[in-house]
């Protein structure tokens, strides 16, 4: 559902308010008028009821006067005295017609009927309403009585001659004609009925006026009593006030009610023209109000809408000037404040964006800006070639540690200027604290290498400041697009990999090599699979025999871990051991090798075929203070003597953490385990540490042994190393023996053991056990 705009909502608010006020006014006016009409109607009903009773009294007086005249008639009195019934009836009929009576009766003083114009059958019968007789001699007596379901006005008058000789009762019918006549003679309401009860809540109408409003029937159908006070009622879809006046009736007669109605609709009809005029004025007022509300809403909302549009532009990064609102009210002040705010936000945004996208030291674009610029450049021409250079200032961390950040920042500013001079129009940015990025759009491999060497030359000149002369140690890594990546992030990462490789190279410049990338997907997959292989015991141990040169017997083996990768064959140990070291899994790998190797060595020992077992430790292993306890536990569980185990460490591992290595190796030596220095001769040998180590054996690296048969220099080196080892009290083992001449030379110079393919290739444990059991296999 669409959201209404501010202008529309404001206009609707004004219009709704106007309609609400006008509507409430109309309702209140109508309610007040109706209440007043109801009040006046009630008063009129009460007055009409009183008038009806007065008219009935006047009627009774007229009838009584007529009967009184008849009572003075000499002929009537003579007929009464002579009891001439025919004359009496004739006189009664004549006088009854004069007064409108439908029935005339002559009564004797004891209340019995002597003559009845309606029927002679009632002669001698008691009068139906005796209570009227007792009051007839003292006052004019009249009452409305119900006879055979019809209403009659009964008037009783005494006859004197000169003493009372009887009474005359006149019954005048109260019917529709009489009520209509009474309405003509007075201001009685049109809606008037005479009703008598026929049961609880039910009434019968005996006479009514000129209207046919069915006042009594509406109450009779709902089982309600007739109201003694003016009461509102809806009859035939019209609103009335209804009042029931109980008329005087004699004993022995049913109750008679005069039911009067006051039509509120008729009363309101004279006001219809006023209401129509008022509604017309209301419609005109609403239309004018709508127009005024729309104009007011427009005047208020236009500047607000303009400011809202400006706010949306600012939110979207468009800082064009806010609209100028020429007003002196609060909206004008808001517009002025908004313009000021927009200018301030624009300035801050530009400043923040510049700071976010530039390096504060060199003023060059930073890594984020470089990624954005390179991606935009590559997007304009997909597949185009280019080269990204990462220029590293490798000595910067040492400079910061030595001299501080202030001078280091000045050095990097100078380095940025030099790189920019070489790059010319090409894009230059500061990629990290120690690196610059140079994007060579359209450059190929040759051009990129050429620029890289020019950068090396530019940064090769030491930075000089006062008496300080500092070498920057530049190195440049190159990544080529699109072969090394089609996005800036990939090119930056791969150029950094190349820069790290360049740091250790002689030229200082290197191009990204996917095979040497430690982050390539195959290598990451290898890390995950290696962890699983260790946990599922999917590795294997191979054993390479070691020959004792004094008698040519095999007295020891070196455990070499192998990984048969499912579906891909054997994985080179150089690959997965390096991965284990980088991912921190080398400790778990070493513990697996120790557990498997000691268990299998113990199995050989239990069969009476013991061999000394050599196992390699990494630099991380000899820094593990829990390693000696773990090895002791394995030896104890498998009941293998400590003297059957040799643990080999490299020189570089010992030199890296000398104190920790000394502590761990001494604990192992104290257990009776021999410690050997592996790859001796190629590491950073420090005799100061070497003499402190609990070493029992040196293993000469294979690079000095493989060419002993042909290389005199290697012979000299090996001879010296053997002599040095013996003078220090160590056993000496030569690795990488490939031919018999090398075996002969090693035996000649006094080397203790030899290991290599010429002695025997590494083999699984089952093959080793089978060879060891053979009597002529050459095992000690």
What pLDDT, on the 0 to 100 scale, is given for residue 541? 94
CATH superfamily of domain region 358-517: Reverse transcriptase/Diguanylate cyclase domain (3.30.70.270)
Look at residue 571 in the predicted model and tell me its pLDDT: 81
Confidence (pLDDT) at 339: 72
Supply φ then ψ for residue 675, to 5 degrees: -115, 130
Q: Compute the distance between CA of residue 103 and CA of residue 407 in angstroms, rounded to an integer.
A: 142
- Give Cβ neighbours of residue 639 (< 8 Å, ≥ 6 apart): 602
Written as six digits, the tokens of 337 are 């404040």
Q: Residue 246, SS3?
A: strand
Domain residue spans in the chain? 178-268, 358-517, 522-773
H or E element, residue 299: helix 272-315
State CA 269 to chain mean position distance: 61
CA 417 to CA 589: how far, in whole Å? 49
Asked if 693 and 715 count as a contact pair (C-beta separation under 8 A), the reply is: no
As a whole number of angstroms, the distance between CA 112 and CA 74 comes to 22
pLDDT, tens digit, 9 for 90 and up, residues 680-712: 876 555 566 667 788 899 999 999 999 898 899
The two tokens of residue 622 are 């000899």
Statement: 522-773 belongs to CATH 3.20.20.450: yes
712, 724 Cβ separation under 8 angstroms: no
Low-confidence ranges of the chain (pLDDT < 70): 1-8, 10-11, 60, 64, 66-68, 70-75, 120-122, 187, 221-223, 297-303, 305-309, 314-335, 338, 504, 515-524, 582, 652, 654-657, 682-690, 777, 780
pLDDT at position 603 is 92
SS3 752: coil
Instruction: Write down the residue that tokens 């230059």 correspond to.
Output: 428
C-alpha 15/C-alpha 246 separation (Å) is 54
Dist CA 648 CA 129 (whole Å): 147
CB count within 10 Å of CB 222 equals 9
The pLDDT of residue 523: 65
Using CA atoms, how far residue 549 sits from 143, 555, 721, 725, 749, in Å, is 161, 10, 16, 16, 11
Q: 């090769």: which residue's tokens?
A: 460
N-term to C-term CA, the chain: 94
* Contact criterion met (CB below 8 Å) for 71 and 159: yes
**Cβ atoms of residues 671 and 699 within 8 Å:** no
Q: Report the DSSP beta bridge partners of residue 391.
A: 436, 476
8 A C-beta contact, residue 728 and residue 509: no
The pTM is what? 0.47
CA atoms within 13 A on the CB side of 98: 15
Residue 546 in tokens:
């070691």
- Those residues whose C-beta lies under 8 Å from the C-beta of residue 291, and which sit 6 or more positions away, are none
Burial of 331 from C-beta contacts in 10 A (0-12 / 13-18 / 19+): middle
Tell me what percent of the residues of the chain surpass a pLDDT of 90: 22
Q: What's the pLDDT score for residue 222? A: 67
Which residue matches tokens 């009964």?
154
């Amino acid at each position: 559902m669409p959201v209404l705009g501010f202008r529309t909502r404001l206009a609707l608010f004004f219009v709704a308010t106007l309609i609400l006020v006008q509507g409430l006014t109309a309702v209140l006016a109508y309610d007040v008028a109706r209440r007043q009409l109801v009040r006046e109607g009630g008063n009129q009903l009460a007055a009409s009821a009183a008038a009806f009773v007065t008219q009935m009294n006047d009627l009774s007086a007229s009838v009584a006067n007529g009967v009184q005249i008849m009572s003075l008639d000499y002929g009537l009195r003579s007929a009464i005295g002579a009891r001439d019934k025919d004359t009496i009836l004739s006189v009664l009929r004549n006088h009854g017609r004069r007064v409108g009576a439908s029935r005339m009766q002559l009564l004797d003083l004891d209340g019995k009927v002597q003559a009845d114009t309606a029927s002679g059958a009632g002669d001698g019968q008691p009068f139906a309403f005796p209570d009227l007789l007792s009051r007839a001699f003292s006052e004019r007596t009249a009452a409305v009585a119900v006879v055979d379901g019809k209403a009659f006005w009964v008037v009783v008058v005494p006859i004197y001659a000169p003493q009372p000789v009887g009474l005359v009762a006149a019954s005048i019918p109260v019917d529709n004609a009489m009520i209509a006549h009474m309405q003509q003679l007075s201001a009685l309401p049109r809606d008037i009925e005479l009703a008598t009860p026929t049961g609880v809540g039910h009434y019968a109408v005996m006479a009514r006026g000129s209207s046919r409003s069915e006042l009594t029937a509406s109450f009779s159908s709902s089982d309600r009593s007739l109201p003694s006070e003016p009461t509102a009622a809806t009859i035939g879809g019209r609103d009335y006030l209804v009042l029931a006046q109980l008329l005087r009736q004699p004993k022995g007669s049913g109750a008679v009610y005069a039911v009067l109605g006051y039509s509120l609709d008729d009363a309101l009809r004279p006001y219809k023209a006023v209401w129509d005029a008022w509604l017309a004025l209301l419609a005109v007022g609403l239309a004018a109000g709508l127009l005024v509300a729309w104009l007011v809403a427009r005047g208020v909302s236009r500047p607000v809408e303009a400011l809202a549009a400006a706010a949306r532009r600012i939110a979207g990064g468009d800082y064009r000037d806010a609209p100028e609102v020429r007003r002196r009210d609060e909206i004008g002040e808001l517009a002025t404040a908004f313009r000021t705010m927009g200018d301030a936000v624009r300035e801050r945004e530009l400043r923040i964006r510049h700071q976010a996208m530039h390096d504060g030291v060199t003023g060059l674009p930073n890594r984020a800006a470089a990624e954005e610029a390179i991606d935009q450049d590559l997007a304009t021409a997909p597949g185009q070639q280019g080269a990204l250079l990462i220029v590293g200032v490798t000595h910067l961390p040492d400079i910061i540690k030595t001299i501080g950040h202030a001078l280091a920042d000045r050095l990097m500013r100078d380095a940025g200027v030099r790189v920019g001079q070489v790059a010319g129009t090409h894009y230059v940015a500061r990629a990290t604290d120690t690196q610059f990025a140079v994007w060579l759009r359209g450059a190929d491999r040759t051009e990129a290498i050429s620029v890289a060497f020019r950068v090396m030359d530019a940064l090769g000149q030491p930075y000089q400041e006062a008496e300080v002369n500092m070498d920057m140690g530049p190195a440049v890594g190159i990544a080529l697009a699109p072969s090394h990546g089609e996005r800036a992030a990939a090119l930056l990462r791969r150029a950094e990999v190349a820069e790290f490789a360049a740091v250790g190279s002689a030229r200082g410049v290197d191009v990204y090599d996917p095979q040497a990338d430690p982050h390539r997907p195959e290598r990451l997959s290898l890390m995950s699979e290696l962890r699983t292989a260790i946990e599922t015991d999917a590795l294997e141990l191979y054993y390479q025999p070691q020959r004792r040169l004094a008698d040519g017997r095999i007295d020891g083996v070196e455990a070499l871990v192998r990984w048969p990768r499912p579906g891909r064959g054997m994985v080179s140990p150089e690959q997965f051991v390096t991965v284990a070291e980088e991912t921190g899994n080398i400790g778990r790998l070493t513990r697996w090798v120790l557990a498997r190797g000691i268990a299998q060595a113990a199995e050989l020992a239990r069969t009476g075929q013991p061999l000394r077992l050599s196992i390699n430790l990494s630099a991380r292993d000899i820094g593990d203070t829990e390693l000696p306890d773990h090895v002791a536990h394995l030896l104890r569980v498998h009941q293998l003597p400590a003297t059957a185990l040799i643990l080999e460490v490299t020189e570089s591992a010992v030199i890296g953490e000398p104190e920790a290595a000394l502590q761990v190796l001494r604990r192992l030596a104290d257990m009776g385990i021999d410690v050997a220095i592996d790859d001796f001769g190629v590491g950073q040998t420090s005799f100061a540490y070497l003499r402190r180590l609990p070493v029992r054996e040196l293993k000469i690296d294979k690079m000095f042994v493989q060419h002993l048969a042909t290389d005199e220099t290697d012979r000299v080196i090996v001879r010296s190393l053997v002599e040095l080892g013996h003078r220090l009290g160590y056993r000496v083992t030569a690795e990488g023996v490939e031919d018999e001449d090398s075996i002969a030379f090693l035996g000649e110079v006094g080397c203790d053991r030899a290991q290599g393919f010429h002695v025997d290739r590494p083999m699984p444990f089952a093959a080793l056990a089978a060879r060891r059991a053979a009597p002529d296999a050459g095992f000690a």
